[in-house]
Amino acid sequence: MSLVLTPLPAIPYVKSGDDLVEIIWNSVNRGNIHLQDGDILVLAQKIVSKAEDRWVNLVFVEPTRQARDLAQKVEKDPRLVELVLQESNQVIRTRPGTIIVEHRLGFICANAGIDHSNVSGEGDAGEEWVLLLPLDPDSSALRIRKGLEARSRTHLGVMIIDSHGRAWRQGVVGTAIGLSGMPGIVDMRGKRDLFGYNLRITVIGAADELAAAASLVMGQADEGTPIIHVRGFPYALREGGLKELLRPKNEDLFR
C-alpha cells in the first residue's frame, strides 16, 4: 500500500464568493493530476470560510456583559469573546489566553476555532478581522465534491480540516471538521488480527488520521498550500459526516 499526498499548485488567495470547485479544478489541471475513483481532496478550513464570507470585523461587535466578564477572566478582547460565545454551545474550561468550548458543530476546541492568523479583510487593519468556521462544513464538503465529480466523472471524497489541540497531548494536529463521500471512522471490530484473534474495541478515526497527514503537507504558516490531493486512502469510500467522529457526551470522560 502507498499513500500519496500532493499539494495542489498555484492556489490563489481566496476571497469571499470565490468558487472553490473552479479553483480546485483549474489547479488539478495545472498540476497534470487526473482525478480517479477513490481520490480525496483535503481543504484547509480557512479557504472554505473565506469563500463563504465568514469574516467578522471586530469593530462592529458589541460585547455583552457575559462576554466582558469572561474576557477579563481570560485576558482577551471582549469583542472576540463575544464571538466565541455566539459560536459555542457551552464553555467547558477557561484559563488566561484560552477558552475551551463545545462548538456549535459539536466538537471541543479552543476559542471556537476563530482565527486571527493569516486573516486580513479589506479596508481595515488586519488585526481587526477574524474568521469563523464554516456554518456547515459537511454541506460545504458535499457541494465541492459534487461539483468536482460532475467535472471529472469520478467518485471522490472531500474533507475540510482545521488544527486542534488534544487532551493530554502538546501541539496541534490536523482534524476533520467536515467530510463527504468518505468514512469518518472505520470499525474494525470482528476482524482478525495477525494472530487470529477477533478485534473487540478497535474503531479507527480514519478521517482524522488523514487530516493529520494532510496538515503536515499543508504546513501552518506561509506555505500557501491549502488543498491536498490524496491517492491511496486504504479504506473504501462511502457516505460519511462529522457526527460519526464525535464522542457522545455520556461517554466523554474528559469534561
Clarify whether residues 191 and 224 are in a common domain. Answer: yes
Distance of alpha carbon 183 from its chain centroid, rounded? 15
* Contacts for 250 with CB less than 8 Å, ≥ 6 apart: none
Q: Is residue 83 part of a domain?
A: yes
Clarify whether residues 196 and 109 are in a common domain. Answer: no
- This prediction has a pTM of 0.91
Q: Are 119 and 130 spatial neighbours (Cβ–Cβ below 8 Å)?
A: yes
Q: Is residue 251 part of a domain?
A: no
Total number of domains constituting the chain: 2
pLDDT at 221 (0 to 100)? 55
Of 70, 101, 131, which residue constitutes the final position of a domain?
131
Clarify whether residues 66 and 170 are in a common domain. Answer: no
pLDDT in tens, the chain (255 residues): 799 999 999 899 999 999 999 999 999 999 999 999 999 999 999 999 999 999 999 999 999 999 999 999 999 999 999 999 999 999 999 999 999 999 999 999 999 999 875 555 554 555 689 999 999 999 999 999 999 999 999 999 999 999 999 888 999 999 999 999 999 998 765 566 555 666 666 788 999 999 999 999 997 655 589 999 999 999 999 999 999 999 998 888 877
Clarify whether residues 43 and 63 are in a common domain. Answer: no
Clarify whether residues 211 and 223 are in a common domain. Answer: yes
Clarify whether residues 141 and 39 are in a common domain. Answer: yes
Clarify whether residues 43 and 60 are in a common domain. Answer: no
Q: Is residue 255 part of a domain?
A: no
Of 86, 106, 131, which residue constitutes the final position of a domain?
131
First and final CA of the chain: distance in angstroms?
38
Clarify whether residues 48 and 148 are in a common domain. Answer: yes
pLDDT at 255 (0 to 100)? 77
pLDDT at 219 (0 to 100)? 79
pLDDT at 190 (0 to 100)? 57
Clarify whether residues 40 and 141 are in a common domain. Answer: yes
Clarify whether residues 161 and 36 are in a common domain. Answer: yes
Residue 23 is part of which domain span?
4-52+135-244
pLDDT at 194 (0 to 100)? 57
Which 8-state DSSP code applies to residue 205?
-
Q: Is residue 249 part of a domain?
A: no
